[in-house]
């Protein structure tokens, strides 16, 4: 038996490595090396969910109707408080996150059903980019911060080997996930950790604002808008990064379908939405042919027939902002994101659609 004790050495090394990894990535140390705030959108959603469940305990006759929006960074700036004043019958809980995708939506909708959480309406993002399986720049924030281990391994057959590797390695080793830089740690230790304290204050400020705005990011934290010339140039870059080549992610679409079937199954009204993008970027959707599994086609030629067929088969409402003449705010911070100035108009568009779904006579 003693001769085989050396076989325990790899396990011992792994346990020590995991212990050191967790020590070096404690919240206190993160202030010295972290250089992002986007993960706070994911962290804050647990408190948002608790608030939602608490609000739903109120008498339905006395509370407002609840809209839950599952989107991505294109919906992060919706001004919840301002919209509540303009549309007093409704209250918005914004579950949008950077890189928000159908697996993240399904993760929460499964939780909603399991807990008996039943909002009055659910809105799901339905953009082209989230269904591209082969982008040059892959967004992995949902894999890293947004899904539980239980959810991921229940649906593991819907992920690629690369995605499995990312999930396991970055959940197992947080130093690999966060990539701390020694130069940044050294910089933030100077002057009695002044820069670390600045970052810590920023974290607390953002978490407070996310809580107060029910999941939305304040608009004043984002640059205002690009010029038309800048949009044309940036659209080429974004298109090449996210839509070239374009391989439709069937498994991701299956998860979107699962969410919709769950909502239909326990009678929660819902719709899908295609949030508006800048016209130069949209024109590339329509005209630029790329490699696809069906040969050279535009991303629209691949994505739109699949979505339209599903909508027709299931009676799913599709709020197409990109081709709706009733929505005409044309300021953009970049090709894929509206200017902060447009978000009140964006919010009004959503609630006008809700008013069409729920006529005034039905409103509490």
DSSP 178-197: H---HHHHHHHHHHHHHHHH
| Structural domain includes residue 65 | yes
In sequence order, the 6+-apart residues with CB closer than 8 A to the CB of 85 are: none
Domain span at 102: 10-357
Q: Residue 142 CA to chain centroid, in angstroms? A: 7
Mean pLDDT of the chain: 91
Nearest 5 degrees, angle CA 254-CA 77-CA 332? 90
- Out of 95-104, 161-170, 326-335, give the one with best mean pLDDT: 95-104
pLDDT digits (tens, 9 = 90+) for 43-59: 999 999 999 999 999 99
Q: Supply the pLDDT for residue 339.
A: 92
- Out of 8-12, 228-232, 356-360, give the one with best mean pLDDT: 228-232
Q: Supply the pLDDT for residue 128.
A: 95
Q: Supply the pLDDT for residue 3.
A: 59
Q: Is the peptide bond before 307 cis (omega within 30 degrees of 0)?
A: no
Task: Report residue 362's pLDDT band, with 50, 70 and 90 as the boundaries.
Answer: very low
| Structural domain includes residue 2 | no
- Out of 99-113, 135-149, 153-167, give the one with best mean pLDDT: 99-113
Burial class for 356, CB neighbours closer than 10 Å (0-12, 13-18, 19+):
exposed
Query: Which CATH number covers residue 67?
Result: 3.40.50.1110
In sequence order, the 6+-apart residues with CB closer than 8 A to the CB of 39 are: 141, 144, 145
The residue among 39 and 3 whose pLDDT is bigger is: 39
Q: What is the DSSP letter of 243?
A: S
Q: What is the DSSP letter of 271?
A: E
Domain count, the chain: 1
Tell how strand 295-297 and strand 290-292 pair up.
antiparallel
What Rg value do the Cα atoms of the chain yield, rounded? 22
CA distance 87 to 204: 30
Q: Supply the pLDDT for residue 359.
A: 67
| Structural domain includes residue 59 | yes
Token look-up 């967004």 returns 139
| Structural domain includes residue 288 | yes
| Structural domain includes residue 4 | no
81: left (phi over 0), alpha (psi -120 to 50) or beta: alpha
| Structural domain includes residue 225 | yes
What's the N-to-C CA distance of the chain in angstroms? 73
In 3D space, the residue among 96, 181, 109, 104 whose CA is nearest the CA of residue 145 turns out to be 104
By residue count, the chain amounts to 364
Output the six-digit token pair for 14. Answer: 């792994």
| Structural domain includes residue 188 | yes
| Structural domain includes residue 349 | yes
Q: What b/e sequence results for 127-145 when a residue is b if at least 16 CB atoms lie within 10 Å of its CB, and e otherwise?
A: bbbbbbbbbeebbebbbbb
Q: Supply the pLDDT for residue 13.
A: 77
In sequence order, the 6+-apart residues with CB closer than 8 A to the CB of 216 are: 76, 77, 78, 79, 80, 92, 94, 96, 210
30: left (phi over 0), alpha (psi -120 to 50) or beta: alpha
Token look-up 């374009």 returns 246
Q: Supply the pLDDT for residue 2.
A: 57
């Amino acid at each position: 038996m003693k001769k085989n004790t050396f076989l325990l050495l790899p396990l011992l090394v792994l346990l020590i490595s995991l212990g050191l990894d967790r020590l070096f990535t404690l919240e206190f140390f993160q202030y010295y090396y972290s250089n992002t705030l986007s993960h706070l959108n994911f962290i804050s959603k647990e408190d948002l969910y608790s608030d939602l469940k608490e609000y739903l305990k109120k008498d339905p006759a006395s509370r407002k109707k609840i809209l839950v929006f599952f989107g991505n960074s294109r919906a992060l700036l919706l001004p919840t408080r301002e919209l509540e004043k303009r549309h007093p019958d409704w209250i918005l809980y914004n579950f949008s996150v950077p890189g928000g995708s159908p697996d993240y939506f399904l993760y929460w909708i499964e939780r909603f059903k399991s807990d008996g959480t039943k909002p009055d309406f659910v809105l799901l993002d339905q953009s082209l980019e989230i269904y591209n399986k082969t982008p040059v720049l892959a967004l992995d924030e949902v894999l890293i911060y947004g899904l539980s281990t239980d959810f991921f391994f229940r649906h593991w057959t819907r992920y690629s080997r690369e995605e499995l590797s990312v999930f396991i390695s970055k959940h197992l080793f947080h130093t690999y996930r966060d990539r701390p830089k020694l130069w940044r740690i050294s910089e933030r230790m100077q002057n009695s950790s002044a820069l670390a304290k600045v970052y810590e204050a920023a974290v607390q400020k953002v978490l407070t604002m996310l809580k107060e705005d029910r999941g939305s990011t304040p608009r004043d934290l984002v640059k205002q808008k690009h010029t038309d010339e800048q949009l044309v140039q940036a659209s080429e870059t974004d298109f090449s990064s996210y839509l070239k080549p374009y391989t439709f992610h069937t498994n991701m679409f299956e998860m979107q379908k699962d969410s919709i079937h769950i909502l239909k199954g326990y009678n929660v009204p819902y719709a899908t939405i295609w949030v508006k993008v800048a016209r130069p970027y949209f024109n590339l959707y329509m005209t630029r042919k790329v490699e696809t599994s069906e040969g050279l086609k535009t991303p629209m030629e691949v994505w739109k027939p699949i979505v339209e067929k599903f909508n027709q088969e299931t009676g799913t409402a599709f709020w197409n902002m990109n081709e709706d003449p009733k929505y005409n705010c044309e300021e953009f911070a970049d090709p894929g994101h509206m200017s902060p100035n447009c978000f009140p108009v964006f919010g009004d568009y959503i609630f006008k659609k809700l008013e069409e779904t729920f006529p005034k006579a039905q409103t509490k």
